[in-house]
A and B are shown apart, each in its own frame.
Chain A
Amino acid sequence: MSDVPILLEMRSITKEFPGVKALSDVNLVVRAGEIHAICGENGAGKSTLMKVLSGVYPYGTYDGQIIYQGAETRFSDIRSSEHAGIVIIHQELALIPHMSIAENIFLGNEPRKRGAIDWKAANRMALDLMARVGLQEDPDTLIKDIGVGKQQLVEIAKAFAKDVKLLILDEPTAALNEADSRHLLDLLRGFQSRGITSIMISHKLNEIEAIADQITILRDGRTVETLDVKADGADEDRIVRGMVGRELSSRFPDHTPKIGEVFFEVRDWNVRHPISAERQVCKNESFVVRRGEIVGFAGLMGAGRTELAMSVFGRSYGVYESGTIIKDGKEIVLKSVADAIAHGLAYVSEDRKAIGLNLLDDIKASTVAAKLSKISRHGVLDEVAEYQAAEAYRKELRTKAPSVDESVSKLSGGNQQKVVLAKWMFTDPDLLILDEPTRGIDVGAKYEIYGIIQRLADQGKGVVVISSELPELIGLCDRIYTVFEGTITGEIARQDADPETLMKQMTSTKKMQTR
């Protein structure tokens, strides 16, 4: 590769925030036309580095040099970096839901004719750009009406509209299902042949291994190494070693399950969509959970796993139609979240920042939030009891924070997730439903979370894990249900579970045979 010209070089970049050195002396060399992956645990400085590159942190707020296309550049804002052909696509998509695809593609960059927007030209150009990213939709479709996968493609089309030379993708596949992810990665490979260079930040190491030419690993704000995938034979284990600075012998803690009797059962569960009543989101779904068992739910994005979980959890999603819940041999009716909590259910949501936590709270208030009655008498809170409960969980789960008075907004993703877990463990649940429990969490913290899940199961609780990462389900669960379009299509025991089998069931329309 060394004969290929260097497109971008970042030399000894140092960026300090009050009290924190986010980057120190980081170097990055990206050659023209390659796909360059940046790996590192959460907080390693990946996003900060990209913000320095794209001008979010303008020249002067960091130390070091950026050499782009052979000359030193000093970007003052995002516009100036975009002008130079550097476009960043953030993890949280910057699209406006109530505007059309075409309007979004040309937002801030509208084709004009005599001062007014030329919509005819815009739609024509949008179609062209959409074709380049393989998006088949009417350009007038509103963003809110298309899936996350397609939204991601709109973002890329938007980048093309700006004549991109260097495309930066921050966790592009985090919210995508397997099929959409594959499509996106294929697309990136296609860009490569057209001379577009990509920088990709990702936690999904298998994707990186499959697609990247070079990998730069950051740890604690420093460059650890840059690997050439082919020459260095960088595989997942090698990358993990660089990221955490140690060998992770296994990505799942050893665990011998102690599985008991069936204690929780959902029968013939039917739920309709909250807004469009003709759409049935859960179709006759039935499943069981045994004590001490970790049960996985596999499915593509939009298969209705979260909807199933939330509708069971006190009808917090959709319109309940029919179906029964049986716990410990008795039918229970859960009409509200409070009912569900009172009956020993806990639901750890998939999006902890949007619906899992109140980011204004500190750790102790978050820990007790779902069961204030446990620390209060006649409605009056006992601050000491609150503190002690939160402190006990902080120690047990090894949440990294100076004290339980720390605001949860200051914690890293993994530690926030531990606080959410503590919040639900505090309610003394019998059944925990964990929706994407390790999303956006780094490798080390994942391992710890798996350990916590296994300990909960060993205490005789039932644990349901919804995950889009098949290796996670296979590594963690004792039994896996597959879900496709609101129907449970299969039930696979741990020993029979492999990605191919699961994937086949996750995409099949056949309903599972009645056991």
Chain B
Amino acid sequence: MSRLKDLQKNLFGGTTSNARQFGMIFTLVAIVVLFQILTDGLTLRSDNLIALFNQNSYILILAIGMLMVIVAGHIDLSVGSIAAFTGILVAKSMAEWSLPWPVAILFGLVIGAIIGAWQGFWVAYIGVPAFIVTLAGMLLFRGGNQFIGNANTIPVPEGFRLIGSGFLPEVGPSTGYNNLTLLLGLASCVAVVWREFQARKTRREMNADPAPMWISLLRLAVMVGVIVFASLRFASGRVGTSFPVSGIILVVLVLAYSFYTRNTAGGRHIYAVGGNSRAAELSGVKLKRVNFFVMMNMAVLASLAGMIFVARSAASGPQDGNGWELDAIAAVFIGGAAVAGGIGTISGSIVGGLVMAVLNNGLQLLGVGTDRVQIIKGLVLLLAVALDVYNKSQGRFSVIGSITRSFRRDTPTPPTSSSDAEREPARTAVSG
């Protein structure tokens, strides 16, 4: 009993959004297993995994930026249009002005920064709601894309395609696997182990008991297992394929932004602004600067996503990025963010995005048409959030919390004050 309790406390303890994320990880695993069975093992085959990453990395990159926008209490509807706008300009810059492709990428990022500054100016300094600013931006930059490209498609050169459809190259001795991918997997394993022990050390320095050793080991075993499995799969694909470059860009961004949002003062300020902007302001947080930054950052990431997409499809077209904003927003909310702001994590949003991606991919493998896929995705979004809202309104903490409730009896948490009970249930993750 006590082991179960430990497990529950250490995996699902902490904030409610934390618990929801673990709920989402379970959902993700369940969906993967389900489709693995339904598709007779097609889902986890190397080529499918690689395709899955290639097709979704840009949405996941958008989800990173969107998470920060939503945590700060805003929304961005313009990301698809910004992606398309940047895409066409970058494509044109290479086709007509013959910019070398690395310069073109920089050029694209600068365009993103300028667009972001434009939108951030209206949101942060004029005070126009982000919904309106980015709705305008959505029209503005979609029109801009079609105006510049004459509603035509512009192809991009070979070198540029690397960021969208490139893979880690083959180097070193012939092992039957892609060596670099294996190396990457090994490095990840080491990093995961190091991090876990670092976390234990931190807990001890806080005079708090770290999780029991067996929990740490179990957690490590699961994570290392997943990494090893994934690296072997990615490394053993068709010759010439391996871990995609866009996947590497994604992983780097996830690590960097996770660190930024969790461990830096700047990241903390975003949560403070979203949680209570007035309180943040009165604590010395520069509200306008934070709002400007999240909007600008989103546009830069949207530009990057647009370029990756253009690189993958080898050309920029007038319909690029249609509906991306909704995919990114859905990923963030499935991943546990609050509509009112202040709650949410990068990793949660990535998991949320993966749930949608696997669902999409699995249904397509099963031959389900896009019409029905959309219906299912819509329902999944609604149910994922509704279940959590419902659980909180029942005074439970989360799906997982409620499953393991019966085990909790032997931990009589001292009621800090009975006044919690008098209050309305704390703000649920999603309701305003």
Contacts from A to B (Cβ < 8 Å): 17-22, 42-45, 47-48, 51, 220-221, 313-314, 316, 336-338, 340-341, 347, 349, 354-362, 365, 369-373, 376, 379-381, 383-384, 387-388, 391, 400-403, 405-407, 409-413, 415, 423
Contact = CB atoms under 8 A, between A and B. Distances in A.
A156 to B, nearest CB: 23
B416 A412 contact: yes
A45 B265 contact: no
B206 interface: yes
A347 B282 CA distance: 8
Contacts of B286: 336, 338
Contacts of B278: 354-355
Given A379-B265, A409-B427, A410-B420, 17 more contacts: A22-B422, A43-B422, A337-B282, A337-B284, A354-B276, A355-B276, A357-B279, A360-B343, A362-B15, A379-B264, A381-B263, A381-B264, A391-B206, A391-B207, A402-B416, A407-B15, A410-B416
Contacts of B98: none
Given A356-B279, A359-B276, A19 B415 contact: yes
B413 interface: yes
A413 B419 contact: yes
A20 B413 CA distance: 10
Contacts of B396: 18
B340 to A, nearest CB: 9
Interface in B264-306: 264-266, 268-269, 271-272, 275-276, 278-284, 286
Nearest to A356: B279
Interface string B198-214: 00001001111000000
A42 B284 contact: no
Contacts of A423: 283
A361 B416 CA distance: 17
B56 to A, nearest CB: 30
Contacts of B342: 358, 360
A372 B268 contact: yes
Query: Which has the most chain A C-beta neighbours within 10 Å: B15, B282, B395, B420?
Result: B282
B206 A370 contact: no
Main DSSP-derived SS at the B contact region: loop
B431 interface: no
B418 A384 contact: no
Interface residues of B, number: 42
A39 B415 CA distance: 21
B68 to A, nearest CB: 16
B102 interface: no
> What are the 9 tightest A-B residue pairs by CB atom distance, in nearest-first order?
A358-B275, A43-B419, A17-B421, A412-B417, A372-B265, A370-B283, A360-B275, A338-B284, A387-B206
Contact of B272 (A355, A369, A410): A369
A14 B286 CA distance: 48
22 contacts: A17-B395, A18-B395, A47-B422, A48-B422, A316-B282, A336-B284, A337-B283, A341-B284, A347-B282, A349-B282, A354-B279, A355-B279, A356-B279, A356-B282, A357-B279, A360-B343, A376-B265, A380-B263, A383-B263, A384-B202, A407-B15, A409-B426
A360 B427 contact: yes
**Max chain A Cβ within 10 angstroms of own Cβ: one of B271, B280, B416:** B416
A369 B416 contact: no
A507 B413 CA distance: 51
B416 A411 contact: yes
A372 to B, nearest CB: 4
Contacts of B15: 362, 407
A347 B279 CA distance: 11
B414 interface: yes
Nearest to A220: B418
B343 A383 contact: no
Contacts of A383: 202, 206, 263
Contacts of A354: 276, 278-279
A51 B382 CA distance: 32
Interface of B: 14-15, 202, 205-208, 263-266, 268-269, 271-272, 275-276, 278-284, 286, 342-343, 395-396, 413-423, 426-427
A349 B14 CA distance: 29
Contacts of B414: 402
A43 B276 contact: no
B422 A45 contact: yes
Most chain A beta carbons < 10 A, residue from B263, B283, B395: B283
A406 B416 contact: yes
A220 B202 CA distance: 38
Contacts of A43: 417-419, 422
A333 to B, nearest CB: 16
Contact of B276 (A17, A357, A373): A357
Nearest to A339: B284
A358 B279 contact: yes
A358 B418 contact: no
Contacts of B281: 316, 337
B421 A388 contact: no
B421 to A, nearest CB: 4
B34 to A, nearest CB: 33
Nearest to A413: B419
A75 B206 CA distance: 50
A415 B418 CA distance: 13
Nearest to B405: A18
A101 B401 CA distance: 45
Contacts of A221: 418
B16 to A, nearest CB: 9
Contacts of B421: 17, 20, 22, 48
A407 B343 CA distance: 13
B189 to A, nearest CB: 24
A152 B265 CA distance: 42
B290 to A, nearest CB: 12
A44 B229 CA distance: 56
A337 B289 CA distance: 14
Contacts of B276: 354-355, 357-360
A63 B395 CA distance: 19
A415 B206 CA distance: 22
A20 B421 CA distance: 7
Nearest to B413: A19
B266 A407 contact: no
Nearest to A352: B279
B417 A415 contact: yes
Contacts of A18: 395-396
B10 to A, nearest CB: 13
A400 B263 contact: no
B426 A359 contact: yes
Contacts of A407: 15, 426
Contact of A369 (B207, B283, B417): B283
A379 B419 contact: no
B264 to A, nearest CB: 5
Contacts of A22: 418, 421-422
Contact of A370 (B284, B419, B420): B284
